[in-house]
């Protein structure tokens, strides 16, 4: 039954209860416990998605990546367990799926990114069977590990759609974990990486190192290949080849698919979106380009950073600082530098910790060459970062160590 006439009012309304939304709510209330905050989030569970790569590589328990959403909603905040139907920024209102409205003085949009599985013909029907899998779904990450363990030969294909996607390194992380398993167990598998883009990574400094990781495994990069169709029973994947106007079909024994991604539909069609469909915010202040009382962060935004949890962690203090300044009638002074981090699991036991900021600046947290895979970073990825993430949701962000650092142009010796 609809609730079309209901009107709720709150000082700050946060759309999205993921990493960004929950961290902003927690940090705001840590600094101003009297703030009137509402959170709009329909999900029953909160997921630590960065660990799904490790689940797919047999190195993490899937159950440890999921917790009840209610555990992270601050006691002082009101939770609307609904979806957003529309934004009405001229009226300072959000319309919910039951027709009710939530009015705000300030709005924070942290609604994440949409996985467009249906944009690849035959994919949804194929997933979870015949070696077709994806670490981008909670229920499929364990199946990825089953596929890796059961493979005894043939071709294993790992795809990557056109950017932007969340965690741009995830498509190749699972490739390395699988290739490492094949190598350790002396299993002869032909491994292919098929990204729609022209290189291993968007930052050349790291791409050159990852070229060496691929070579160490004897894996083949097939750049400019966009997956367009999957036939599970026939075990065939069809790709569109960039700039050539042709299609090519690969046979496979295992196919790990990363779905195309976009801004959520309810944002794309709204007045707060730019032409590409993303929440239109200033890349430094995270304030909306047209509506001064609207802010955005995380994967749903127009900021040209890599879409990672590490980016959210750097954005939260900036957004909270600027929003609190606005509450007091002051201008925004905090600035986000575009920082993102991608812990690339180059094997079971080593991680290449790629950290960078706007314009490809190299900004690692530690003063050692970040292109070298290290065992200490594996411990960081598997043990420290999950704890940091769950703690972050209460607004406690932890220390910020990244800084601009200079390294030699020549790529060091790489042992994945």
Instruction: Tell me the CA distances in angstroms from 259 to 45, 226, 337, 402, one per residue in order.
Output: 21, 11, 28, 30
Catalytic option among 147, 167, 300, 301: 167
Question: 298: which residues sit within 8 A by CB, 6+ positions away?
Answer: 16, 18, 19, 20, 21, 110, 111, 112, 307, 311, 312, 315
Catalytic option among 147, 300, 301, 342: 342
What are the backbone angles phi and psi of residue 36, rounded to the nearest 5°? -90, 105
Phi-psi region of 210 (alpha: psi -120 to 50; beta: other; left: phi over 0): alpha
Whether 300 is catalytic: no
213: tokens are 């990781």
Assess contact for 67 and 57: CB atoms under 8 A: no
Nearest to 79 by CA among 95, 49, 102, 98: 102
Q: Could you give the residue ranges of the DSSP H alpha helices within 274-404? A: 309-327, 375-379, 385-392
Query: DSSP string covering 74-96, please?
Result: -TTSEEE-S-EEEEETTTTEEEE
Give the dihedral sign, CA 369/374/378/380: negative
Whether 342 is catalytic: yes
Our CA dihedral for 297, 300, 301, 302, rounded to 10 degrees, sits at 160
Assess contact for 190 and 220: CB atoms under 8 A: yes
CA 398, CA 105: separation in Å to the nearest integer? 29
CA 12, CA 294: separation in Å to the nearest integer? 10
164: tokens are 């932007």
Q: At what angle do helices 19-31 and 309-327 cross, to 10 degrees?
A: 40
Q: At what angle do helices 170-184 and 141-150 cross, to 10 degrees?
A: 30
Q: Active-site residue numbers?
A: 167, 342
């Amino acid at each position: 039954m609809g609730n079309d006439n209901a009107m709720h009012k709150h000082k700050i309304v946060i759309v999205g209860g993921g990493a960004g939304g929950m961290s902003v709510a927690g940090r705001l209330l840590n600094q101003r416990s009297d703030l009137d905050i509402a959170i709009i989030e329909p999900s029953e569970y909160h997921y630590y998605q960065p660990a799904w790569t490790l689940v797919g590589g047999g190195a993490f328990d899937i159950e440890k990546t999921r917790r009840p959403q209610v555990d992270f909603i601050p006691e002082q905040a009101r939770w609307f367990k609904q979806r957003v139907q529309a934004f009405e920024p001229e009226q300072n209102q959000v319309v919910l799926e039951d027709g009710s409205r939530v009015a705000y003085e300030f709005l924070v949009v942290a609604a994440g990114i949409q996985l467009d599985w249906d944009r690849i013909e035959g994919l949804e029907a194929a997933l979870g069977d015949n070696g077709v899998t994806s670490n981008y779904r909670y229920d499929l990450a364990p199946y990825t590990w089953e596929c890796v363990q059961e493979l005894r030969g043939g071709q294993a294909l790992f795809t990557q759609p056109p950017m932007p996607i969340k965690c741009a390194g995830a498509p190749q992380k699972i490739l390395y974990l699988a290739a490492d398993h094949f190598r350790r167990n002396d299993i002869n598998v032909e491994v292919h990486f098929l990204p729609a883009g022209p290189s291993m990574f968007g930052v050349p400094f790291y791409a050159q190192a990852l070229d060496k990781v691929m070579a160490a495994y004897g894996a083949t990069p097939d750049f400019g290949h966009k997956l367009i169709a999957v036939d599970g029973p026939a075990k065939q994947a069809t790709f569109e080849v960039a700039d050539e106007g042709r299609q090519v079909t690969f046979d496979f024994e295992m196919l790990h698919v990363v779905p195309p991604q976009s801004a959520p539909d309810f944002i794309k069609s709204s007045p707060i979106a730019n032409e590409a469909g993303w929440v239109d915010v200033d890349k430094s202040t995270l304030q909306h380009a047209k509506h001064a009382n609207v802010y955005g962060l995380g994967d749903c935004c127009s900021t040209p950073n890599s879409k990672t949890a590490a980016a959210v962690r750097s954005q939260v203090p900036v957004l909270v600082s600027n929003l609190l300044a606005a509450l007091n009638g002051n201008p925004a002074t905090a600035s986000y530098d575009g920082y993102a981090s991608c812990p690339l699991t180059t094997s079971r036991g080593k991680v290449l910790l790629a950290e960078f900021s706007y314009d490809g600046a190299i900004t690692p947290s530690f003063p050692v060459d970040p292109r070298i895979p290290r065992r200490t970073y594996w411990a960081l990825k598997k043990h420290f970062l999950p704890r940091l993430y769950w703690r972050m949701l209460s607004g406690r962000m932890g220390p910020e160590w990244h800084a601009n650092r200079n390294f030699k142009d020549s790529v060091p010796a790489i042992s994945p």
